[in-house]
Amino acid sequence: MGNRVGERARQEFRGATLIDLDYRKPHRAVEATRRAIDEGAPVILEASFFEDNIFVAVDVLSKEPNGWVVTEVKATKSVKEQHYADAAVQTHVVERAGLPVTRVELMHLNGDHRHPDEGPLFTRAVSSNEVAALRVGSPAQAAAQGRMLEGPLPDVEPGPHCTTPYDCPFLARCHAPAPDHAIDELNGIRAPALGELREKGVETIEKIPSDFPLKPLHARHRAAVLQKEIIDEPGLERALAAYRHPIAMLDFETVGPALPVWNGCSPLTAIPVQFSVHTLHENGEVTHSAHLAEGKGDPRPALAQAVVESRDGAATILAWHASVEKRCLKQLAEAAPEHATALLEAHDKTEDLLLVVKNHVYHPAFRGSFSIKHVAPALLPEMAYDDLDVADGMAASHLLESVLCRTDELAVQQCEDLRAQLRAYCKHDTAVMVSLFRFLREVADRRDESSFTGPSTT
């Protein structure tokens, strides 16, 4: 994605000189950059320099009367804190190469742009002051990192710095294997509470003292670990009883191209392009409908129509992490006004099955996660995702973008195979919800009959 955004950004600089950069032979790019400067090139793309043992390739280097402008291109809709540090290193190296830098810009995607031509695709933020503040420390940091690379492996305790702002590629090597049911697994636990437990020498959930103040969710988690079985709360039956049949289990899949391809869409906005719905009727019958966009045209009108036709008289719609499905239904209503009434009605009927589980049920194998990819294997091992070619929503989104936005890069058979995998994945998500609902119903019924032996935390 970053490469595609960078290539598109180059079109904003007509007539610029592009340096052919091969990272295996960076010295050639440095030599080519020096020739371009000597020949008076006003704008250089991928301008390459090597100073103080640091190699940089500046996205855009532009000549001005009093010096040069460093422009870094980012595939984001806003400037992030880490971008300043990146630009500071670029500026340091460029100036060490003898080129005075008069201005630093961070060029990023414009969230107000609407495809195809409403508003500019990119916007530039002048960041000279922020970069200058970091630029002062760049020589010392470069020297310190050089000494670090020449010395032994650093002895640094793993912590939040290992994943901020990005995951360190050595994370797995530095982390000792976590013990089973480590306290870090407690969903949403605050750092002060974790620190207090560690001060008491508590590293695992089963060692948490019974008098330690825990939120209901964390108490349920602790009880499940101690009992080594599923925990359910008395309110489960009441929560499920609120859902009237027919109950539609709905799942959308989306794509969010950095470079929008459909009219009215903005950069990095998630657009629904696929859905699956399994409808559970009161007599136990289950029906299924699905739709996956085809071709390069706007997928939303056809998807909206298919969603409306798939309702099958549903009185309740359930989703997993329903805010996503509710957002998709609103987007489709805006894109297909002729179906807006039905889609907004569906929006208002949509409830979150995840919250039913999170508020009433816990299994030790959840490991603190309420992702359906963790919940389903724990409660219904036969419904695990192991046998699917597409195993999570992020992978599905990437593949959907390839299938719909970059079809020309795929062979015909490859495209058909990917579409089949995507259909199977989306269908499995809603089939899992049907099975989970039935499982929860059985748990609630057993409790209601006072024959279910699973303990409660209340």
Helix, strand and coil content of the chain, in percent to the nearest 5, comes to 45, 20, 35
Mean pLDDT, residues 88-107 taken together? 96
Segment 25-35 mean pLDDT: 97
Query: In the prediction, which pLDDT does 114 show?
Result: 96
Q: Average pLDDT in the 147-156 region?
A: 85
pLDDT(458) > 90: no
Residue 48: exposed, middle, or buried by beta-carbon count in 10 A (0-12, 13-18, 19+)?
buried
Region 104-117 average pLDDT: 96
Please give the span between the terminal C-alpha atoms of the chain, in angstroms, as a whole number: 49
pLDDT band at 455 (very low <50, low <70, confident <90, very high): very low
Q: Work out the average pLDDT over 10-15.
A: 94
pLDDT attached to residue 454: 45
Q: Which residues pair with 274 in a beta bridge?
A: 253, 292
Condensed to tens digits (0 to 9), the pLDDT of residues 291-349 reads: 999 988 899 999 999 999 998 899 999 999 999 999 999 999 999 999 999 999 999 99
In this prediction, residue 457 has a pLDDT band, given cuts at 50, 70 and 90, of very low
Nearest CA among 33, 34, 50 for reference residue 93: 50
Half-sphere exposure of 114 (CA within 13 A, CB side): 3
Checking DSSP bridges between strand 17-18 and strand 43-51, what pairing results, if any?
parallel
pLDDT digits (tens, 9 = 90+) for 345-392: 999 999 999 999 999 999 999 999 999 999 999 999 999 998 899 989
Q: With a cut of 70, say whether residue 36 has pLDDT above it.
A: yes
pLDDT at 315: 97
What tokens appear for 310 in the block?
A: 């798939």
Q: Assess whether pLDDT exceeds 70 at residue 236.
A: yes
Given this model, what pLDDT does residue 285 score?
A: 97
Q: What angle do CA 54, 60, 62 make, to 5 degrees?
A: 110
- What local confidence, expressed as pLDDT, does residue 450 receive? 53
Q: Average model confidence (pLDDT) for the chain?
A: 93
Rounded Cα distance between 194 and 43, Å, is 52
**How much is the average pLDDT of 229-257?**
95
Q: Which tokens sit at 217?
A: 């969710």
Q: Are 272 and 300 in contact (CB under 8 A)?
A: yes
Q: What would the mean pLDDT of 79-85 be, rounded to a whole number?
A: 94
Confidence of residue 449 (pLDDT cuts 50, 70, 90): low
**Least trusted range by pLDDT, from 221-225, 383-387, 438-442:** 383-387
User: Given the structure tokens 């295996």, which residue do they identify?
Assistant: 24
On the question of pLDDT at 178 being above 60, the answer is yes
Q: Which residues contact 340 (CB under 8 A, 6 or more apart)?
A: 333, 334
pLDDT at 160: 79
The predicted model scores a pTM of 0.88
